[in-house]
Structure 1
């Protein structure tokens, strides 16, 4: 029930009570009670009882609405307190200057007082999703690089480039070094170098048209959260 109706009922009740009291006063000032007085007195008693019942119902409804509002406010406050630490943690990619050029790197910032646990970085690369687990990330005063996940993403991009351009995966240095025949080992090393060069060129070509978005899932020790690439934070458990 809104304020307008509560005011209307309250004012109407006051007016009715005043009218009834006026009638009762008129009746009591007369010596012999007229017939209408008894009927009015009985009706007035019933009406006052009805008004009291309506007033009690209005008051009860107002109390219920107040309790609901307080419950919602407390729930909102609890949710805000729970998300306070999580809201201070984020992972993103940005240009990072190096000695020779600028490249995109992965950064994180934890402005809270405690570490974030079970951190998993979600990379979305041209429709492909790749996840890299960082375990625990400590509090920081300024944004810091996430080197492990950056290296893992580099490997994933190379893998996508190999698939995109039909390139061959070269042998590792250890596999080449294990070849006993010196001539075959030298040939294998030359092939490995050429394949590595082709993969790096393919990766660089692939990166030019690449689109990478970053999300992160993590735990603050009490709840688990997910921050989407658009920055939206939601509790997952």
Structure 2
């Protein structure tokens, strides 16, 4: 089920959403420390996180699926966001160096189709990063956050999906170990939650942060076609020809 863009904006304007954005940004920045001179694209609802790359990248734009809706981004500058068909992105092949998927795969009706389109527009040396709700995480147990909507994934499910769509996972991390409780001392101690849970390798993070590379050359195994032998059989029932008039005896 796709969330409306207004609901997503409202979540990230609340204290819980602010904390979630800060913690996920830490995970993104750890894997992509800079994007100087690169072409960066966000798909889904990536605008809370694209600010990491907007200043130093060559260009930074946001594609939002038609089923979700679109909001102007950034609000005080020329618009860099647009409404798209997620299975027919308006870019040529190999046009982007970095692609960030946020609230995209779990909300898509056809995640494999979306990833194949991402593969098409990603440069051969480019990298893709996806923020995906963890199937075992606490954040997927409540629908008060966007991470509780759509389909969550386990690590093995993500790996299988990426391999089916010609990607190779290259780096993994997690975020949102803190419980999704709005307000109070829990949010104030969110960073401590993250550090402690990461140190003990807790499996209950709210999201996976997975980076993948594009498989440019993919071997296609050749299969020998098996010939099926169909025996030629004579018909069992042969129709009897009608007698000719000269063969009919006189009465």
* Larger RCO of the pair (alpha carbons < 8 Å, separation 6+): 2
TM range (shorter): under 0.3
Task: Provide the TM-score with structure 2 as the length reference.
Answer: 0.18
The answer to which structure has the higher helix fraction is 1
- Larger Cα-atom Rg: 1
